[in-house]
Amino acid sequence: MAAVHSARWLRVRRGLCLPLTGRRAAICGRAPSSRFYSGSAAVPEVEGAGATGTEEVVIPKKKTWDKVAVLQALASTVHRDATAAPYAFQDDPYLIPTSSMESHSFLLAKKSGENAAKFIINSYPKYFQKDIAEPHIPCFMPEYFEPQIEDISEAALQERIKLRKVKASVDMFDQLLQAGTTVSLETTNSLLDLLCYYGNQEPSTNYNFQQREQAEELEEATEGNNEKPQKAAGHELGVTWRAKNNAERIFALMPEKNAHSYCTMIRGMVKHRAPTQALNLYTELLNNRLRADVHTFNSLIEATAFVVNEKLEEKWNNILDLLKQMVAQNVKPNLQTFNTILKCLRRFHAIGKLPALQTLREMKAIGIEPSLATYHYIIQLFYQHENPSKGSSLIIYDIMNELMGKKFSPKDPDDDMFFQSAMRVCSSLRDLELAYQVHDLLNTGDNRKFIGPDHRRNFYYFKFFGLLCLMEQIDVTLKWYKDLIPSVFFPHSQTLIDLLQALDVANRLELIPQIWKDSKEYGHSFRRDLKEEILMLMARDRHPPEVAFADCAADIKSTYESQDARQTAPSWLASSLNCIAVLFLRAGRTQEAWKMLGLFRKHNKIPGNELLNEFMDSAEASGSPAQAIEIVKLAGAFSLPICESLTQRLMADFTLSQEQKEALGDLTALTSDSDSDSSSDSDNDVGKGK
């Protein structure tokens, strides 16, 4: 009883928000408290003492744990393994993908296997009926796609609607009408829902993600040029609303229509790109003194933006009108309303900036929490053009300040586009701090889910890593390289070129053989630009021979050769031949270097001047005049202007035997003839003097 009293008293005290001292707690624990300590009698010093080391006893509410709470706690102790492939793949070197194309194809193969199995299961459900699972697991039972009820009745119609059979339900409806039975309003409404959602076509059974991704890309493309008539795009993308189709026919046949019917029709028309008809139907709705619901208003806002041949200010005024009507009909806007407004404002380009901010403020004033899609639309609106020289706004900084540390849950289908657009802006602004902020936001809580499908994730990391290579110190960049590649994304050849340039700036060129090895793994061994970049960086300056550049060059040479064997088009470039030969010479692998000279002739490429000088150096070092003569012959064959200086050097530095001198004489005579033909007369004496 004392405990109860003290508990009650404690609650009173808590209501008064006054701290207890230790002594007082002891007192009230012992005696039944008819004494109420009014806090005002307490001297200020108690409150001063209350600031340090007093207990405030607050009885917490009872916690209810989720069923998977233990698993979640365990999962939070484990971080992503940077060396492992994503868990969807089988963990074996043969089966782990090494490029993004491979990962895409493997996942598709696995998914198609699952689809094939599901097809078999749903076609022969009688073999899968035996249920030994306790408790019952519904997802392992076959699904029924054929309607069971065969007679003509409303229940049959409802079943067909539930199974999403558009044509069958329309037929059933017609049969019911012919038989004379009236179909109830609810059923007709649900039939209208089905028709409007699928646009009078059967839902496609081959709905795999490949089609959906293509559709998304087409959507992004068409949104960029919205001035073009959308009919052409509409046919490719999806369904267009034909006039006098089943939905309109049934709508006209309905004896009584309530608000739901009108709303469904409006939403269907807007979804399938018939905005003017939708607006007409809306006026009819108002004439019948019915009210629309919030989803219909969202569709109508979209419809006003779709209407062609109207100026942007008029469209904005129409949208404002709609919003006023919404208020008049006492319909509360939701998140989708504001997101739709922002999506439409995106098309208004520069004019849309002020209304967008107004919309955002309105949203916050009402108390609706903006989702990631909201911020995505705002970013797209403010940063539509890539070049920042037009005086880009700083709104991205405000957005990131607001979003830091927040965890999001999916509320809008476009939520997963935020991170891609944010990183695009960071990259165009060249701001690394901001990029780190965005990446931190991605890593808080469950926000990882919002990275989106494969191509968006690849784009995000491509931009992020490009920015890192550009702006960050090389050690940090290399740490990120090990962390991200290849477990999160597979590098594009452009990414590797960026990394090489970063290494160049930081003077860490000894890591190039490692990068080449990695790029072979990721399937870039046949990318010309990457190989040329590597060779150029290796050959540019002299490096100590510990660095294994020559091996790397030999490797690259072998890839060139294997590529040659497969294709008929020549893939060598003069610069790469130069670089490889120089690297061989510097490493002292003279045999292979001399073989390179043969390749020059074979592929008809001209060796560079420094290269020939280096060859002369090496011939001098090895002390063989025959090699030197070879070089001069080669230069002569190509009719290079350097041939003369080479022959001079040859005469000066080497001791030649008699027949060598004669051979050299012939050679120089030939070259001098050709030279004299091309050069001016004053050079004749010089040429003949040899």
Partner 1 sequence: MEVCRQLRGTCNIGQASYKNRKLPGVSRALNTSEVGAENRAARGRLGKGEKLVTCEEAHAPRHVTHRKDWLSLHTGNLDGEGQAIERTVEDVFLRQFLLGSFPGCLPDQRVLKRQAHQVEICALVLRQPPVHRLYFLVGRGETLLSHFYKGPVHLQTVPSKIVYI
Residue 353 Cα to chain centre, angstroms: 26
Secondary structure letter of residue 125 according to DSSP: G
Tokens 């230790």 correspond to what residue?
22
Judged by beta carbon, residue 134 or residue 659, the one nearer partner 1 is 134
Stretch that binds partner 1, among 112-120, 173-181, 567-575, 596-604 (CB under 8 A): 112-120
By the rule CB under 8 A, 117 interacts with partner 1: yes
Judged by beta carbon, residue 123 or residue 276, the one nearer partner 1 is 123
With contacts defined by CB under 8 A, how many residues of the chain interact with partner 1?
Answer: 29
Span between the terminal Cα atoms of the chain, in Å: 125
CA gap 345, 339 in Å, rounded: 10
Q: Using CB atoms within 10 A of its CB, is residue 90 exposed (0-12), middle (13-18) or buried (19+)?
A: exposed
Stretch that binds partner 1, among 129-137, 323-331, 441-449, 668-676 (CB under 8 A): 129-137
By the rule CB under 8 A, 106 interacts with partner 1: yes
Out of 132, 179, 243, 252, the only residue in the binding site for partner 1 (CB under 8 A) is: 132
Find the shortest distance in angstroms from Cβ 209 to partner 1.
14
By the rule CB under 8 A, 109 interacts with partner 1: yes
By the rule CB under 8 A, 84 interacts with partner 1: no
CA gap 281, 269 in Å, rounded: 10
By the rule CB under 8 A, 443 interacts with partner 1: no
Out of 14, 27, 42, 142, the only residue in the binding site for partner 1 (CB under 8 A) is: 142
By the rule CB under 8 A, 121 interacts with partner 1: yes
Site string for partner 1, 324-363 (x = CB under 8 A): ----------------------------------------
Secondary structure letter of residue 153 according to DSSP: S
By the rule CB under 8 A, 128 interacts with partner 1: yes
By the rule CB under 8 A, 94 interacts with partner 1: yes
CA gap 379, 425 in Å, rounded: 8
CA gap 491, 504 in Å, rounded: 19
Find the shortest distance in angstroms from Cβ 207 to partner 1.
17
What does the block give as tokens for 653?
A: 């530095």
By the rule CB under 8 A, 110 interacts with partner 1: yes
By the rule CB under 8 A, 137 interacts with partner 1: yes
What does the block give as tokens for 446?
A: 């469950």
By the rule CB under 8 A, 113 interacts with partner 1: yes
Q: Are 685 and 676 in contact (CB under 8 A)?
A: no
Q: What values do phi and psi take at 61, rounded to 5?
A: -75, 155
Judged by beta carbon, residue 137 or residue 252, the one nearer partner 1 is 137
Find the shortest distance in angstroms from Cβ 142 to partner 1.
7
Out of 56, 131, 186, 310, the only residue in the binding site for partner 1 (CB under 8 A) is: 131
By the rule CB under 8 A, 140 interacts with partner 1: yes
DSSP annotation string for 476-527: HHHHHHHHHTTTT-PPPHHHHHHHHHHHHHTT-GGGHHHHHHHHHHTT-TT-
Q: Are 156 and 170 in contact (CB under 8 A)?
A: no
Stretch that binds partner 1, among 62-70, 109-117, 207-215, 325-333 (CB under 8 A): 109-117
Nearest of 409, 416, 342 to residue 369 by alpha carbon: 409
CA gap 689, 8 in Å, rounded: 120
By the rule CB under 8 A, 457 interacts with partner 1: no
Out of 72, 90, 123, 604, the only residue in the binding site for partner 1 (CB under 8 A) is: 90
Residues engaged in binding partner 1 (CB under 8 A): 90-92, 94-95, 102, 105-114, 116-118, 120-121, 128, 131-133, 137, 140-142
